[in-house]
Amino acid sequence: MFETIQGEGVFTGVPSVFVRLQECPVGCAWCDTKQTWEAEPEQERPLNEILVKTEDSPTWCSVTADEIVEQYRKSGFNAKHIVITGGEPCIYDLKPLSAAFEAIGCQCQIETSGTSEVRTSDATWVTVSPKVAMKGKLPVLDSAMIRANEIKHPVATQKDIDHLDALLDKANVGENTIIALQPISQKSRATQLCIDTCIERNWRLSIQTHKYLSIA
C-alpha cells in the first residue's frame, strides 16, 4: 500500500493510495508486476515488513479489510481515492474492503482484467482493462464488461482493437461507459494507432503518465 498519483485512465493526476493485492492467473506477457502472480507460502511475511518494501518482490501478507483500512489511517495518507489493483484483485470478494474505505469517506476504484467476477460496492469505479488471449487462457467475462465504468484497453497492434470490438459487440456495454485505448510500453507505432482510432471513434487516449514521470 502506497500513496502516489494515478497515472492513467479517467483519474489521471488524482492523488491516490494504491492497495496492491497478490496473485494473478492471467499471465500478460508485458506485465510490469509479475512479482504479484503467485502467493508462495515461503514468501509470506508480516504486514509491517510488506509496508516498508521499497522494491518489487514476491513477498506478501494476509490481512483483513479492516486491517488494511486501519493501516491506511495510521499511515497518515492524504489521498481519498483508493485504487485496488494487483495482481488480479477480482479473484477476491472486494465488498468488505470497498465498504470499509467508503465508511471513512474514501472513493474506491478497481483495476481488473475482467477475467473474474466483479464483487464490490455499487459506488466503486470499475476500470476493466480486458486481457484477451493471454497465457492463462481466461475469457473476459461479459458481466465484467457490463459492470465497467471505464474500459481501458491495452493496444500494441490493430489486432488488439479488433479484440476490443468483438468484446464490445458481445457484451452490449452501456452508452455511458468510457472507452479508452492505452498504448503498450510507450511504443510510438502503438501510440499513433491509438491516437488515430480515438479521433475516429471519439474514444479517449490513456497515457501511462507515471512511466514518463518515473513515479510509482
Question: Of 35, 5, 33, nearest to 18 (Cα)?
Answer: 5
202 Cβ contact list (under 8 Å, min separation 6) = none
Apex 202 CA angle, 201 and 208, nearest 5: 105
User: What CATH number is given to the structural domain containing 165?
Assistant: 3.20.20.70
Confidence (pTM): 0.93
SS3 175: coil
Q: What is the arithmetic mean of pLDDT over 196-202?
A: 97
Question: Of 128, 152, 154, nearest to 141 (Cα)?
Answer: 128
| 85 labeled binding residue | yes
| 136 labeled binding residue | no
| 208 labeled binding residue | no
The pLDDT, as a whole number, for residue 212 is 67
Convert the pLDDT of each residue in 27-72 to its tens digit. 988 788 899 999 999 999 999 899 888 888 999 999 999 999 999 9
| 129 labeled binding residue | yes
| 211 labeled binding residue | no
| 169 labeled binding residue | no
| 73 labeled binding residue | no
User: Residue 194 pLDDT more than 70?
Assistant: yes
**% of the chain residues with pLDDT over 90:** 81
| 61 labeled binding residue | no
Total number of domains in the chain:
1
| 20 labeled binding residue | yes
Q: Are 208 and 12 in contact (CB under 8 A)?
A: no
Domain extent at residue 131: 2-213
Q: Are 203 and 9 in contact (CB under 8 A)?
A: no
Q: How many CB atoms lie under 10 A from the CB of residue 14?
A: 16
Q: CA-to-CA distance for 39 and 64, rounded, in angstroms?
A: 16
